[in-house]
Amino acid sequence: MTTQPTDLFRLDGKVALVTGGSRGLGKEMVLAFARVGADVVIASRKQEACDDLAREVEQTTGRRALAVSAHAGKWDECDALAQRALDTFGKVDVIVNNAGMSPLYDDIRNVTEALYDKVMDVNLKGAFRLTAVLGGAMKDGDGGSIVNVSSTAASQASPGEMVYGAAKAGLHNFTKSFARAFAPKVRVNCIMPGPFMTDISKAWTPEMIEGLGRMIPLGRGGEPDEIVGAALYFASDASRFTTGAILKVDGGSVYGN
């Protein structure tokens, strides 16, 4: 029987783990993965939020969902998350390193060492550790796909996102380095989102939102579910000849990578 192109995007029999998975872009990816057949691991700092989404997944898709409270910036909690996933499902086929944070500061001179370390840990260190542990298990097993989620701040320098941008630029490097380290059995790619209208955008001023229309060629910020196409592409066999890639999903706001 001829395979239909849409079949390439299916994740039947797969297990997908998403950090920062209880809200925003992470939540949309969790729901999308479950809708195309994957069991899911939902990880974020707030257990209650993970539990709520796990119930939604199981009730609406019939897929299994494991809710795990884990701080993506803590090495030992990344190890514990990986072990919980493996103990529960026996494998992980897809990892999405989506957890991130970008605290506001009034002056770069007021960024403390503690804040600097926290931003680097959540955005970069956790992704490294989880990829090393579970990506290594994938390499030793049946392979898999790892999807990092960076930001246009990685390529578009901004004084208001200096540490965050540096961390996300590091994630681009990790994407390319792990793609080589774990090839050919494990593919590692990266989505680079621009501004999205998630719950975080509720804190934006009307002037900031209006400015998106001038800054972004498509004239607006992205809707959360508009991340799904890129996530499914990288997670599934649709991208089976793609690794080390960085895909902009930003409405055209950044030139180049």
- Could you give the residue numbers annotated as active site? 164
CB 174 within 8 A of CB 230: no
Tokens describing residue 188:
């590692």
Instruction: Indicate if the alpha-carbon torsion angle 193, 196, 202, 205 is positive or negative.
Output: positive
Return d(Cα 248, Cα 253) in angstroms, integer.
Answer: 9
Tokens describing residue 141:
């097993």
Between helix 126-140 and helix 162-181 the angle, nearest 10°, is 10
Cα radius of gyration rounded to whole Å, the chain: 18
3-state helix, strand, coil in the chain (%, to 5): 50, 15, 30
CB 232 within 8 A of CB 177: no
- Beta bridge mates, 15: 39
